[in-house]
Amino acid sequence: MYPPHHYGGYELSCRDFLVRLAAHGHDAAVLTSQVRIGGVDDPPGERDGPVPVWRDLDIYWDDHVLVSPSLPRRLAVERDNQRRLSAALERWRPDVVSAWAMGAMSLGLLDRLVRSGIPVVYAVCDDWLDYGVKLDAWMRLFVDRPRLAAVVRRVAGVPTALPDIGGSGTFLFVSDSTRRRAEEASPWSFPDASVVYSGIDRVDFPPLSIAEREERLDRSWRGHVLSVGRPDPRKGMTTAVRALTRLSGHRLEIIGRGDDAHRVELEELAASLGVGDALTFDVTERSALRRRYLAADVFVFPSTWAEPFGLVPIEAMACGVPVVATAVGGSAEFLVDDVNCVVVAPGDDAALAAAIDRLRSDPTLRTTLLDGGLATAEQLTVDRWATVMEAWHLGAADRFAHGRPAHRPAPAPSQ
């Protein structure tokens, strides 16, 4: 997916990077899927914009449902996608290809890229290196069937198995946690890799002014609990809903576009627990989020899965909002208990409620987290991240004739 047809930070990060490449004088273009979100229009003339976007590829996903078409249809999808990629390579003649989220896409596209000989940089911001084959309705037919794969490839003329993806290019992982999971769960190792750490856009989340900081410190507690992100069972929002039953006078606002079925489940859970009136949902663009953060007393990030990274806690920190988080996966690489957030165990609604109540009653802790969060947000910005990404892509384009860029140090939240 590619904005404005998107649900999460992975897609926004891709656009952030490409927009900056174009601003630096590079030619950049996007080949992405045909996925559209209801009520969201394509930008006018986007094929002719500063970063041309071609929404041409079929994928095995439809509105949060994985699809498994008939075998003739799967073959048609693979052939069409191969043709569209070949046409894009001919049209743009790139010096380097940047491969992003490949979940539910035709992984045979990567085979085509490897065979082209064009340098490939993989921007890995989730675990698609592990689950990608499971979601690819064509490629998964031939897992552990090498003889069948070879025969079908000769007859059908499309890839049926992947080459050594790990050795096919440069891998830029959003966190060390994501890198380790790829090494443990995928069939590949990644000899040419770096951890780059993502970040927030300072255009949408500028530093707090002195007046805004003082307002945060002086404000009275109003019981406004905020969570930002797509409704998804892995995001732990059921924990936040259950925590409401332990917090008198609090309300939970969830902002994000995502799985409508899970949103309904959350509404039904809240109603069954007697807190239905204290739960609200909304959708807004990233450019309008800052004022929503500023209106909140506390931000909760109760994920139960190993987050690849997690941008929304950093957005909240940039706005001076105290954060309560589970610090799982890559988010643990920048979330530090009692320094820039309060850490709680995943799935523990009592602990989540207790942490919120602790912040309500402890203005000194709120000040500590405000200052620690601002320091973290200052380190983890899109501009810093994009500079590192650009250096690696330019290096790959000339096959690192002048050496490899320096690896980015891990964030230091206490500084």
- Give the Cβ contact number of residue 273 at 10 Å: 14
- How many CA atoms are closer than 13 Å to the CA of 325, on its beta-carbon side? 34
Contact (Cβ atoms closer than 8 angstroms) between residue 34 and residue 42 = no
Burial class (CB in 10 A: 0-12, 13-18, 19+), 80: middle
Section 131-139 average pLDDT: 95
Domains plus CATH for the chain? 9-199+382-397 (3.40.50.2000), 210-379 (3.40.50.2000)
What contacts 209, CB < 8 A, 6 or more positions away? none
For residue 131, the one-letter residue type is Y
> From its phi and psi, is residue 197 left (phi > 0), alpha (psi between -120 and 50) or beta?
left
- What's the rounded Cα separation, in Å, for the pair 208 and 214? 10
Side chain identity at residue 243, one-letter code = A
Tokens 């048609």 correspond to: 76
Q: Are 344 and 334 in contact (CB under 8 A)?
A: no
Q: Is 21 exposed, middle or buried (0-12, 13-18, 19+ CB in 10 A)?
A: buried
pLDDT at 415: 47
Copy the structure tokens of residue 347: 């799935």
User: For the chain, how big is the Rg over CA atoms in Å?
Assistant: 22
Q: What is the pLDDT of residues 47-103, one digit of tens each?
A: 999 999 999 999 999 988 999 999 999 999 999 999 999 999 999 999 999 999 999
Question: In the predicted model, is pLDDT for residue 337 greater than 60?
Answer: yes
Residue-wise pLDDT for 193-230, tens only, equals 999 999 999 999 999 999 999 999 999 999 999 999 88
Q: How far is CA 129 from the centre of its chain?
A: 14
List, as one string, the DSSP characters of 122-166. EEE-SSHHHHHHHH-TTGGGGTT-HHHHHHHHHHH-S--S---GG
Strands, DSSP E only, in 184-231? 193-195, 224-228
d(CA 25, CA 14): 17
Q: What mean pLDDT is predicted for residues 22-43? A: 94
Paired with 325 in beta bridges are 301, 343
The predicted pLDDT at position 413 comes to 64
